[in-house]
Chain A
Amino acid sequence: MTITLSIFIPFLAAIFIPFIYKRIQNRHIGWFVIIVPIALFIFLASFIPSIANGSTYMHTIRWIDSAGIHFATYLDGLSLIFALLITGVGSLVILYSIYYLSERESLGRFYVYLLLFMGAMLGVVLSDNLMMLYVFWELTSISSFLLIAFWYHRKKSRYGAQKSMLITVSGGIAMLAGFIMLQSLTGSFSVREIVATIGQYTDEPLFLWAMLLVLLGAFTKSAQFPFHIWLPDAMEAPTPVSAYLHSATMVKAGIYLVARFTPIFGGEAVWFYTVSGVGLFTLLVGSFNAVKQTDLKALLAYSTVSQLGLVMSLFGLGSVALQHGYSPDSVIYTQATFAALFHLINHSTFKGALFMVVGIVDHELGTRDIRRLGGLMAFMPITFTIALIGSFSMAGLPPFNGFLSKEMFFEALVNARNLEVFSTGTVGTLFLVVAWIASVFTFVYSMIIVFQTFFGEFHPERVEKPSSEASFGMLVAPSVLAIFVVGIFFFPNVVGNYLLRPAMTAIYPSFAGAEGLVPHIKAWHGFNPALWMTIGVIILGTILYKLIKYWRGVYTIAPLRWNLDTAFNAGLTWLEGGSHFITRMYMKGYLKDYLVYIFTFFIVAVGGSILWTGSYSFDFTDNSPIAINEFLIVLAMAGAALAMIFAKSRMTAIILNGVLGYSIALLFVVFRAPDLALTQTVVETVTTALFLLCFYFLPEWKKERSARKTKIMNGIIALSAGTIVTVLALAVQGNKMFESISVYFEDAYLLAGGKNIVNTILGDFRAFDTMLEVVVLFIAGIGVFTLIKLKTGKEDKDIEDQ
């Protein structure tokens, strides 16, 4: 229960932020916001001991039984790692943002979005129900959109926000389709139930599709090739956001999904090849592209892409262990997953620190272009130290945590070469080579960050602001992360035993407690292939870095310049043009035309299905006789309807329309339906009042001069629509195709305590319908209000590009 609550707390806090923000103008609102993640972090951290002992926490609020959708939360080792990252990095990022964002920014908005994201992200990692997971998943995309577009007056921000939204949300929808397929296979939306029963469905054709679609969601979110193009553009967001969403948490949601679904799909050849292949390729593309960047933040973005690829590929390699279930030999492959989880934590620490460093440089000097920077070490010693720690860790050098996980990554690849399943002989070698080359590039760009920014000569005329070391508060958060970078190197097994062990059990339920599932992490293990690979990376990387100006030319070779961004933009333009063209074809702006569309569709769909099913046989035997007064009412209605066609003025038409409405009400009275009669009367009254109001806006009532052909056509449409409605009404009366459901409502007084059966249906039996109708009504009202009040031209200021 308390875990369920922890998802809601950020949302609740987000509701109150605007009110607090209004009251407190002279103090930074961040100090109030930061309480939320710190409290949640402490709360979640208190679960570490019991989770490490193997317990899990499950809580379900039953919601929609018929669809299997419940508000179910599940906390195990895997979700705990992510939840701790979300709240821990979240606290540091908020602390950092307090100093980074000036009080002139609209901070209320910023922190509302940030809390919204935090809640959504916690929801993603703590959900057990797939539908719940999906909703939170999309919510993270939306809050990311809002945060990227925080400075929405910039064109680039809006572009980046839209791009990330389009890519991640379409991936999310694919994932939803995959989830639904899984549900139709296994009959459950609960991840744990699916894990338990999936074994018997792996041969179904839907299984493969579900896997690919879920992967599509994970790949778009985690910026895997070819969907990585949104991440560099997302860097238009304020730096705290980039550090938080686009390196430490949100982009790891895809990785979380892959890890969570490893027990379901792991052990399949397609899963293995897709996840590890895409991951490794992303690793290579990301690191290769990172080297050519001149904007420090773009460099970090590409480096994040490549590191995510690394983690992703490790999960792919680790899934092999599930091929034949547990055996003493297969345990060795689980080490890839262990390395993945370990690197995931390490990446959050060093990349978070690096982003904050770049933010500091940008904040203090007004630029983050490495061509204009240099020699900052002289007056930014602390920032330099943090950057050094972060970059060297990223490059995989000791004594930093990146070294440990990088070594494990190489080891996993070396093991994969000996893999006997899936006939990976040559592919395993290819994997190893790709990973090694990518690591060389990683080394090169890590060196670029350190040496091109902090060494060399400082040119004050090239930067925008007078320069000095950042304020103390701004340095706290990156320093904490840097301490973790070093600390984890010296005490890696604390992390291993308390965080990674339960997470490994969550990913490999059948391996629980197996020897070797949680290896002892050592910094030194002799001269094994992994260490030689690292030494090779350092040597070749240093050479490449020294000679960078000689080989930079490769980036101008044509095939490398053809990039996916151009394709994306062209696709977007084409899509816009195409939909504009199609919309123009039928949106004529005449109500008359739209009515023709609607009625034609109605005639084709309903009339067609009546003909198709042959349900036009009528049965009048059970009908009660029609009394004379009923005849008279119907006659009046028919007269009014006919007269309306020939009405000379609009007023007459409106009154005649009223005659129709009130006659229907009268019919309801005759047939003893007082509720309907009342409603009809009042609706008619209000509608007439509305009509009179709109009088002013309506165009002049004039005889229509349309071609004879159109008139005949319209007449045919009108007549057939009327005929079909009549036939439909009679056919419904004559053909009982389904059991009547009115038996459900017959005990209304007993079940709902009401004597008015109509209202018990509205308010009790079918309350969901009523509730949604009310919501729709409200939306319609707001729609009318905004359409009229916010007409173009009334808006005075035009917020546009900078």
Chain B
Amino acid sequence: MRINDVILRTVARIVVFIILTFGVELFLSGHNNPGGGFIGGLVLSSAFVLLYLVNDIETVRKGIPFDFKKIAAFGVLLAVGTGFGSVLFGEHFLTQAFGHFHLPIFGITELSTVVLFEAGVALTVVGVVVTIILTISEDV
């Protein structure tokens, strides 16, 4: 699927980066503000979808040589794996921990294992959405 539209292509080049940044921002701010793994993942995948819409699949594949199925699988493993992480410390499955740490540049920062879990969610969403859209479009 390739749409030969100069305006769209030019705009997309910039917009994709804005969307990607926004996606990461949403993902990171999810703990205290609107956002989170699911939305972040969806926004990221919409950026990829836009890329595929504007350029053809082969070109994008050269630029982003990931197998999105593997990304999805990795995401699921990460989400389930973090659940087992707490088991190793004698806690219940999927118990999340957090704490406040003093980091050199950021000052006092809250670090939480839920980020890993959410990262798993985000990666799964990105992987699955892009996989579905790519498979359907390749079937044409």
Spell out A's residues near B (CB within 8 Å).
61-65, 674-675, 678-679, 682-683, 685-686, 689-690, 693-694, 696-697, 752-756, 758-759, 762-764, 767-768, 770-771, 774-775, 777-778, 780-782, 784-785, 788-789
Scan B72-102; emit 1 where CB is below 8 A from any A CB, else 0. Answer: 1101100110010001001011101011000
Task: List A contacts of B43 (CB < 8 A).
Answer: 682
Q: Which of A62, A768, A778, A788 has the most chain B CB within a 10 Å cutoff?
A: A778
- 16 interchain pairs (CB within 8 A)? A678-B34, A682-B43, A683-B42, A686-B49, A689-B49, A690-B136, A697-B139, A752-B98, A755-B31, A756-B30, A759-B31, A762-B36, A767-B114, A768-B94, A781-B69, A784-B131
Are B94 and A780 closer than 8 Å at their CB atoms? Answer: no
In the complex, which of the residues B26, B69, B133, B139 contacts A690, with contact meaning CB atoms closer than 8 Å?
B133
Contact B121 A755 (CB under 8 A): no
Q: Is the CB of B110 within 8 A of A753?
A: yes
Q: Are B30 and A771 closer than 8 Å at their CB atoms?
A: no
Q: Is the CB of B36 within 8 A of A675?
A: yes
Chain A neighbourhood of B32, CB < 8 A:
754-756
Give Cα distance in the complex from A679 to B117, angstroms. 18
Nearest CB in chain A: distance from B110 CB, A:
6
B90: A residues at CB distance < 8 A? 62
Q: Are A777 and B125 in contact (CB under 8 A)?
A: yes
A693/B133 in contact, CB under 8 A: yes
B46 within 8 A of A: yes
Chain B, residue nearest A763 (CB)? B114
B10 at the interface (CB under 8 A from A): no
| A756 / chain B contacts, CB cutoff of 8 Å | 30-36
Interface status of B140 (Cβ within 8 A of chain A): yes
Interface of A, secondary structure class, is helix
* B63: min CB distance to chain A, Å: 19
CB nearest neighbor in A for B128: A781
B129 interface hit (Cβ, 8 Å): yes
Residues of chain B lying within 8 A (CB to CB) of residue A682: 39, 42-43, 46
A694 to B133 alpha-carbon distance, docked (Å): 9
The answer on a CB contact under 8 Å between B117 and A686 is no
B136/A678 in contact, CB under 8 A: no
Contact of A679 among B42, B45, B96, B128 (CB under 8 A): B42
Shortest distance between the CB of A658 and any CB in chain B (Å):
14
**Count the B residues whose beta carbon is within 8 Å of the partner chain — how many?**
54
B18 within 8 A of A: no
- B9-43 to A contact mask, C-beta < 8 Å, 1/0: 00000000000000000100011111111110011
Q: In angstroms, how far is the closest chain A Cβ from the Cβ of B103? A: 16
| Given A675-B35, A675-B39, A682-B43, A767-B83 contact (CB < 8 Å) | yes
Q: Say whether A755 contacts B33, CB under 8 Å.
A: yes
**Which residues of B are interface residues toward A (Cβ below 8 A)?**
1, 26, 30-39, 42-43, 45-46, 49, 53, 69, 72-73, 75-76, 79-80, 83, 87, 90, 92-94, 96, 98-99, 110, 112, 114, 117-118, 120-121, 124-125, 127-129, 131-133, 135-137, 139-140
A763 contacts B98, C-beta separation under 8 Å: no
B69: chain A residues at CB < 8 Å are 781-782, 785
> A689: which B residues are within 8 A, CB to CB?
46, 49, 53, 133
The answer on a CB contact under 8 Å between B124 and A777 is: yes
Cβ A788 vs Cβ B39 within 8 A: no
Q: Are B98 and A780 interface neighbours, CB within 8 A? A: no
B116 to chain A, nearest CB (A): 10
State whether A754 touches B135 (Cβ < 8 A): no
Choose among A62, A64, A697, A778 the residue that contacts B72 (Cβ–Cβ < 8 A).
A778
A9→B31 CA distance, assembly (Å): 38
Q: 3 shortest A-B CB distances, which residue pairs?
A: A781-B128, A753-B98, A755-B32
B93 engages A774 (CB within 8 Å): no
Residues of B contacting A752 in the complex (Cβ-Cβ under 8 angstroms)? 96, 98, 114
Asked, given contacts A778-B75, A781-B127, A788-B135, whether A678 binds B39 with beta carbons under 8 Å apart, the answer is yes
Q: Return chain B residues, CB-CB under 8 Å to A770.
A: 79, 117, 121
- Taking a contact as CB atoms under 8 Å apart, the answer to whether B128 and A777 are in contact is yes
Q: A686-B45, A756-B32, A784-B131 are in contact. Are A775 and B76 (CB under 8 A)?
A: yes
Whole-angstrom CA separation of A679 from B34 in the bound complex:
10
Query: B112 to nearest A CB, angstroms?
Result: 6
Contact A785 B135 (CB under 8 A): yes
**Complex Cα–Cα for A690 and B33 (A):** 29
Report A-chain residues with C-beta under 8 Å of the C-beta of B93: 63-64, 768
Chain A residue contacts of B39, Cβ below 8 A: 675, 678-679, 682
Expressed in whole angstroms, the Cα–Cα distance for A784 and B135 within the complex equals 8
A754 x B49 contact (CB < 8 A): no
Q: Do A686 and B46 have beta carbons less than 8 Å apart?
A: yes
Q: Is the CB of B137 within 8 A of A693?
A: yes
Which of A697, A770, A781, A785 has the largest count of B CB atoms less than 10 A from its CB? Answer: A781
**Given A675-B39, A784-B131: A754 and B114 interface contact (C-beta under 8 Å):** yes
Given known A771-B79, A771-B94, A785-B131, contact A763–B37 (CB-CB < 8 A): yes
CA distance A57 to B96 in the complex (A): 31
A778-B76 contact in complex given A756-B34, A763-B36, C-beta closer than 8 Å: yes
The interface residues of chain B lying within 8 Å CB-to-CB of A696 are: 140
In the complex, the answer to whether A789 meets B135 with C-beta atoms within 8 Å is: yes
Task: Report yes or no: A686 in contact with B129, Cβ–Cβ below 8 A.
Answer: yes
A63 (CB) vs chain B CBs: closest residue = B93
Tell which of A679, A758, A763 has the most Cβ of chain B within 10 Å: A763
The reply to whether B136 and A788 form a contact with Cβ atoms under 8 Å apart is yes
Please, which residue of chain A has its CB at the minimum distance from the CB of B130? A781
Q: Closest CB of chain A to B132's CB: distance in Å?
A: 5
Beta-carbon contact of B96 and A774 below 8 Å: no
The interface residues of chain B lying within 8 Å CB-to-CB of A768 are: 93-94
Q: How far is the CB of B78 from chain A (nearest CB, A)?
A: 9
Q: Could you tell me the distance between the alpha carbons of A534 and B140 in the complex, rounded to whole angstroms?
A: 77
Q: A679-B42, A785-B131 are in contact. List 19 more A-B contacts (CB 8 A).
A: A62-B92, A63-B93, A693-B1, A693-B136, A696-B140, A756-B30, A756-B31, A756-B32, A756-B33, A763-B117, A764-B96, A767-B94, A767-B117, A774-B125, A775-B79, A781-B127, A781-B131, A784-B132, A785-B132
CA separation between A63 and B95, bound complex, in Å?
11
Instruction: Output the least CB separation between A257 and chain B (Å).
Output: 27
Q: B114 contacts A764, CB within 8 Å?
A: yes
How long is the Cα–Cα vector from A64 to B94 in the complex, in angstroms?
Answer: 11
Q: In the complex, which residue of chain A has the Cβ closest to the Cβ of B29?
A: A756
A756 to B39, alpha carbons, bound, how many Å?
14
CA distance A690 to B49 in the complex (A): 9
CB distance from B90 to the nearest CB of A (A): 8
Which A-chain residue is minimally distant from B132 (CB atoms)?
A: A784
B60 to chain A, nearest CB (A): 15
Given contacts A64-B93, A682-B46, contact A759 B35 (CB under 8 A): yes
Tell me if A674 and B1 are in contact (CB < 8 A).
no
Complex Cα distance, B33 from A674, in Å, reads: 9
- Minimum CB–CB distance from B68 to chain A (whole Å) comes to 9
A781 to B110, CA, bound (A): 34
Report whether B94 and A778 are in contact in the complex, using a CB–CB cutoff of 8 Å: no
Closest to B127 in A: A781
Q: Cβ of B96: which chain A residues have Cβ within 8 Å of it?
A: 752, 763-764, 767
Contact of A754 among B31, B99, B131, B132 (CB under 8 A): B31
**Chain B contacts of A683 at CB under 8 A?**
42
Using Cβ atoms and an 8 Å threshold, which residues of chain A touch B34? 674-675, 678, 756, 758
Report the minimal beta-carbon distance from B50 to chain A, rounded to whole angstroms.
8
A682 to B129 alpha-carbon distance, docked (Å): 12
> A774-B120, A785-B132 are contacts. A753–B112 as well, Cβ < 8 Å?
yes
Q: Which of B75, B87, B92, B112 contacts A774 (CB 8 A)?
A: B75
